Amino acid sequence: MKLPTVALVGRPNVGKSTLFNKIVGKQISIIEDVPGVTRDRIYQEASYKNKRFYLIDTGGIDATKMDFNTEIKMQAEIAIEEADVVVFVVDGKEGLTSNDNIIKEILRKTNKKVIVAINKIDVKDAQDNLYDFYELGFDTYIPISGIHNTGYIELMDAVTMNFKETEEQEDTRVKFSIIGRPNVGKSSLTNALLQEERVVVSNIAGTTRDSIDCILKYQDEEFVVIDTAGMRKKGRVFESIEKYSLFRSLKSIDRSDICLVVINAEEGILEHDKHIAGYAIERGKGLIFVVNKWDTVKEKTIQEFEKEMRAEFQFAPYAPIVFLSALTKKRIHTLMPEIVKVKENIKREVKTSVLNEVIQDSYQLNLPPTYKGKRLKIYFTSQTGVKPPKFTFRVNNKGLVHFSYERYLENKIRENFDFEGTPITLQFKNRNGDEE
């Protein structure tokens, strides 16, 4: 199910970020030990009264800055191309400004639903300025206080009025997205799998601007293939349209069960390839590396290139690697069996009794080191989730879990159960229920 999108727009310092964090329910700050995933978030999934949606924080529009035209274009494109609802945040304390009027002109050219959120209404001056904002000419105005939560319910009721609740039956078909840098052959790979020309293919980097869903039938089972726009480095996202391509690709990863990270064999492995794999791993998706244009490589064997891949992608040793040529369709038949295998592994469930036997044997084989005279004890282990598989360990003190021992336990689980192609999550809880 494709989720609706809400964009927050407005000039700087009107309280968009405070409102953004309030709606998503947390401070957005990403700290991960996976290469390439520490970055600013331009969007987050949120929910209100069983209605799920994506929320974009577009950044402040300021006509006084030298790059004014670029900023205006970027914000307008986000509102036009992505949002189902635009929340135009204004500062009630300062009143209506020339920047607000410029943003008004952009939004009025769209056919989007626009809600004006008059923020900082708790300040006395805001009451005096309140009615000035009606000059903007939109239909809905809601006074709010991002800090004191005034008007929040009214705002969210208006924003989600036409959104559907997500209790409806979800699409159970396995979805895989084809992701990678521009011009690595993602659209050609989609066409090769579908065996028909369903996606525009060009040798001009960045041809695909949107994410496209296609249905593929394999062994009497339907799969949803999501072709995505090329994911450029954030620093190289100059055009506003490219920023939306990245946003769409991130949404596609969220909707996927499995991500195929396409590597251009002609160019070899680049640093940004690692960043893109990091996006998928961070979201807990199944992972397959696809080395495309393999027919153009003459000086290396598959074994040699695979060794390079393992050295560069040490953070994902579990991901299978497929070598093929989407253009000539050589070795294309080797890809779908890997997808089917990973499909089974991301939802694999392990019997609790067998799991505990493996963990206890591994524990006795390699006791964790002591810390200040105390040693980690593992009492019970159970699988508590799938997509990706999640394992919860009941221990005496989770503070005694060293990252190297956690890696050891993950390796032992992988040695005994087939989790090729999927990340797995280990969670440690104190047996007495104290989670501090």
Q: How far apart are CA 410 and CA 188, in angstroms?
A: 36
Ordered per-residue pLDDT tens for the chain, 436 residues: 578 889 888 888 888 888 888 888 765 433 233 332 222 335 677 889 889 888 887 767 776 665 544 654 555 565 556 789 999 999 888 888 888 888 888 888 887 899 999 998 887 777 778 888 898 989 999 998 867 778 999 999 999 999 988 655 566 889 999 998 888 888 889 889 888 544 444 443 333 334 457 788 888 888 888 866 544 444 444 344 344 456 666 777 888 999 999 999 999 998 888 988 998 999 999 999 999 999 999 989 999 999 999 999 999 999 999 999 999 999 999 999 999 999 999 999 999 999 999 999 999 999 999 888 999 999 999 999 999 999 999 999 999 999 999 999 999 999 999 999 999 999 999 987 654 4
Residue 273: which H helix or E strand, with range? helix 271-282
Q: Which of 10, 156, 154 is nearest to 96 (CA)?
A: 10
Written as one letter, the residue type at 385 is G
Question: What order do you get walking across the sheet with 390-395 strand by strand?
Answer: 378-385, 390-395, 425-430
What do you get for the CA distance between the two ends of the chain, in Å? 37
Q: How far apart are CA 224 and CA 173, in angstroms?
A: 7
Q: Which two tokens stand for residue 26?
A: 């947390």
Measured CA to CA in angstroms, residue 8 lies from 60, 63, 147, 158, 356 at distances of: 10, 17, 16, 14, 48
